[in-house]
Structure 1
Amino acid sequence: MNITISPATEEEVRSGYVGRQLREFNYRHVGEYPEVQSIRLNARDAEGQVVGGLRAVVALHWLRVEVLWVREDARRNGIGSRLLMEAERIARELGARNAALETFEWQAPRFYARHGYEEAARMDNYVGEYYLAIMRKRL
């Protein structure tokens, strides 16, 4: 086969063709499941400025938290907890039964543990001497 590798065009990305092909392959093994759903939440202060946000997807009945951020001067006010709990609520409505995320040692493993997440795996020395924790929770 004479194959070339190139960036997907905007139309190819928009069409979702590659994702559909993988989903159809997966269906043969785990049965049908909904398409990937995105969760995008922002926390705003009284002036409307974004002080925190969460980005996640629900796929294969799992909530996958990709980003949870709270501005440093707004931390320790429950904003991160509220964002996480709202994402979990939405994910359950979308059919998620579990949640997973990755966090570095210097970020928030203790925060997630307080919310019921447990370390499922750890990659030591991921960045310098710091580990990357892979955490999960039953919803």
Structure 2
Amino acid sequence: MADFVREVMTPGVVAVRPDASVVEAAQLMRAQDIGDVVVADGQQVVGMLTDRDITIRAVAEGLDPLTVSARSVCTPHPVMVSPQDPVSTAVALMREKAVRRLPVVENGLPVGMVSLGDLAVAQAPDSALADISRAEPDHDVQPAAPDIRGPV
């Protein structure tokens, strides 16, 4: 069983500038096959932007994703952990703050991410969440065609 965040985190960080459009961020998420990006101003983490943030805070509000910035819809001042923190600290922060992902920061610089799935794989390898987290994405799935018939 892993003791420290560095043992369970996914190394590397995908980041966008605060002034990047939501479309830019979403395209980056698609290209990297991830559900979140760090919003960074230079080397400083200023927020976390998830696919859910884009959906709830931009699209559902009717904002133009080409003009709305990542900073305006991200979660500002995200909770972060260090690679040297105990895994129990990451678990406690996720529970307390009700988040699924934490940026891992060392000497002020983002160096990785730790997700609920990472923790499940490390701490509960036989769990359904661990199985799902280990599975390869299914890129062959086509979205369902919208029902355009209207009311019957």
Q: What's the TM-score bracket when you normalise by the shorter of the two chains? A: under 0.3
- Between structure 1 and structure 2, the one with the greater Rg is 1
Of structures 1 and 2, the one scoring higher in RCO (CA 8 A, sep 6+) is 2
- The structure that is strand-richer by fraction is 1
